[in-house]
C-alpha cells in the first residue's frame, strides 16, 4: 500500500494529537537550576541534609549529555536519555502510536521487547519475517505497511541473528517507509558497520537507540540513549518522567565514559573471544551451523536445541534457547563471556 514518502516529511502528522497538545510537567529543577554557588534550594521539598543523593537528579542530564556528545559527535540536543533503551522505546510508542488504531512493524526473529511494548500500549504489531539470510525484505515491508504504520523497528546488529542489516537496505527503508524508523544499535560497538547517528541530518524520520548495557558493561545502572532530530527529541522530552535517570546512574555513567580505554579494551577482548569461540564451536559434531556475528553473542544451529539446552543447564551453564523463533529452528544463542567462561562452555559442550 505504502509507496514512498510523498514530498516533505511531516513529523506533525505522525505525532499523536494528545501529545502535541500536552503541556509537560514542570519540575522544580526544570524551573530553576543554577550553577551559582551557595544557592539555597527550598523549592523541591527535599531533605536538606547532604548524603550525596538527597537532591533530585538533573532532569536533562546535561553533564552526561555533554560527555556523550564529545564521544559520539552528536549534539546533546539530539539526545534523550532513559532508564535503559526499553524506556526510550516505550516513549517512542507513546509519542507516535494511537492505542487500538495504529500499528508498528517488526522483523522477526528479533528483540522481544518491541512486541511487549506494543502490547502494553495496545498497538498492533505487523510482522514481516527476515529473509533466510536474515535481511529485511524491503518490498514485503512496504506492502505490509499502511497509513497507520507509525514505527518500523530495525535491530542492527540484530538480536538473536547477530548480523547487521545491509546499509543500502536500511537506507531504502528510511526513504520509503512513511513513518519513523527506529534503528536499535544495542550491539553496534561489536560491529564493523558504522552507526547511523551520523545520518540524523539526512533522515528526519530516523531514531537511533543505543545502550550502556552491552559493550559499556553497565547493564545494572539502566541507561539507554535515543538520538533523533531536535523536533523528535523535544516531543519525547515532553512525555518522559522528569527524573527518569537517577543520580547514581548519571554518576556511574560519567565515570565509565571518562575511561574509554578500558571499554575499548574489553570490546577488543570480546571480539577476539568471539572468533576463538567460533573456531572451537566448529569442531563440535552436533553443531550444524554458526552464523556470522557482528555482536557479542553467537547464534548456533544444533541437532536438537531443547536437548542441548537442558544438557548445559544440568551442568550449570545458562544460554538462550531460540528454537521457537521464526527461522531459528534448533538454534541456541551463546553470549561471549570471559575466556574462562568460554572454555568452560566448550569443555561442557564436548562432554554432552
Ligand X SMILES: *Cc1c(COP(=O)(O)O)cnc(C)c1O
Residues binding ligand X (CB under 6 A): 84-86, 111, 155, 159, 184, 186, 211, 213-214, 219, 224
Rounded to the nearest whole angstrom, what is the least distance from the CB of residue 186 to ligand X in the complex?
4
Residue with C-alpha cell 541507561?
Answer: 223
Q: Which is nearer to ligand X, 56 or 153 (CB)?
A: 153
Rounded to the nearest whole angstrom, what is the least distance from the CB of residue 37 to ligand X in the complex?
35
Residue nearest to ligand X (CB): 84
Rounded to the nearest whole angstrom, what is the least distance from the CB of residue 330 to ligand X in the complex?
21
Asked whether 206 and 228 are in contact (CB, 8 A), the reply is yes
Q: Which three cell numbers stand for residue 6?
A: 510523498
Helix 84-96 × helix 113-120 angle, to 10°: 50
Rounded to the nearest whole angstrom, what is the least distance from the CB of residue 271 to ligand X in the complex?
17
First to last CA, the chain: 51
Q: Which is nearer to ligand X, 85 or 178 (CB)?
A: 85
Q: Which is nearer to ligand X, 4 or 112 (CB)?
A: 112
For the chain, what percentages of helix, strand and coil (3-state, to nearest 5) are there? 40, 15, 45
Q: How far apart are CA 318 and CA 312, in angstroms?
A: 7
Q: Which is nearer to ligand X, 11 or 113 (CB)?
A: 113
Cβ-Cβ contacts under 8 Å for 254 (sequence gap 6 or more): 63, 64, 67
Residue with C-alpha cell 569461540?
Answer: 277
Q: Which is nearer to ligand X, 59 or 82 (CB)?
A: 82
Asked whether 216 and 195 are in contact (CB, 8 A), the reply is no
Rounded to the nearest whole angstrom, what is the least distance from the CB of residue 189 to ligand X in the complex?
12
Amino acid at each position: 500500500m505504502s509507496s514512498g514518502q510523498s514530498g516533505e516529511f511531516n513529523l506533525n502528522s505522525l505525532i499523536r494529537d494528545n501529545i502535541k497538545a500536552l503541556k509537560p510537567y514542570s519540575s522544580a529543577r526544570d524551573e530553576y537550576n543554577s550553577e551559582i554557588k551557595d544557592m539555597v534550594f527550598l523549592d523541591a521539598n527535599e531533605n536538606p541534609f547532604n548524603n550525596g543523593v538527597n537532591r533530585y537528579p538533573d532532569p536533562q542530564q546535561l553533564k552526561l549529555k555533554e560527555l556523550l556528545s564529545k564521544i559520539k559527535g552528536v549534539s546533546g540536543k539530539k539526545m534523550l536519555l532513559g532508564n535503559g533503551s526499553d524506556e526510550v522505546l516505550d516513549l517512542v510508542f507513546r509519542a507516535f502510536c494511537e492505542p487500538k488504531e495504529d500499528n508498528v512493524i517488526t522483523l522477526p526473529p528479533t528483540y522481544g521487547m518491541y512486541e511487549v511494548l506494543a502490547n502494553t500500549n495496545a498497538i498492533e504489531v505487523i510482522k514481516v519475517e527476515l529473509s533466510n539470510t536474515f535481511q529485511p525484505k524491503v518490498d514485503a515491508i512496504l506492502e505490509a505497511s499502511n497509513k497507520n504504520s507509525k514505527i518500523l523497528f530495525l535491530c542492527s546488529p540484530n538480536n538473536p541473528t547477530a548480523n547487521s542489516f545491509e546499509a543500502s537496505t536500511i537506507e531504502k527503508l528510511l526513504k520509503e517507509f512513511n513513518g519513523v524508523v527506529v534503528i536499535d544499535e544495542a550491539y553496534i560497538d561489536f560491529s564493523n558497520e558504522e552507526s547511523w547517528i551520523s545520518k540524523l541530518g539526512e533522515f528526519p524520520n530516523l531514531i537511533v537507540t543505543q545502550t550502556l548495557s552491552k559493550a559499556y558493561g553497565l547493564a545494572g545502572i539502566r541507561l539507554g540513549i535515543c538520538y533523533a532530530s531536535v523536533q523528535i527529541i523535544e516531543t519525547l522530552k515532553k512525555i518522559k518522567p522528569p527524573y527518569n535517570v537517577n543520580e547514581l546512574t548519571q554518576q556511574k555513567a560519567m565515570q565509565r565514559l571518562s575511561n574509554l580505554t578500558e571499554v575499548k579494551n574489553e570490546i577488543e577482548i570480546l571480539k577476539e573471544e568471539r572468533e576463538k569461540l567460533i573456531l572451537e564451536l566448529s569442531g563440535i559434531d552436533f553443531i550444524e551451523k554458526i552464523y556470522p556475528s557482528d555482536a557479542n553473542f553467537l547464534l548456533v544451529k544444533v541437532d536438537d536445541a531443547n536437548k542441548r539446552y537442558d544438557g548445559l543447564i544440568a551442568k550449570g551453564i545458562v544460554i538462550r534457547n531460540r528454537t521457537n523463533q521464526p527461522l531459528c529452528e534448533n538454534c541456541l544463542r551463546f553470549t561471549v563471556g570471559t575466556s574462562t567462561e568460554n572454555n568452560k562452555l566448550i569443555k561442557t559442550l564436548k562432554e554432552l
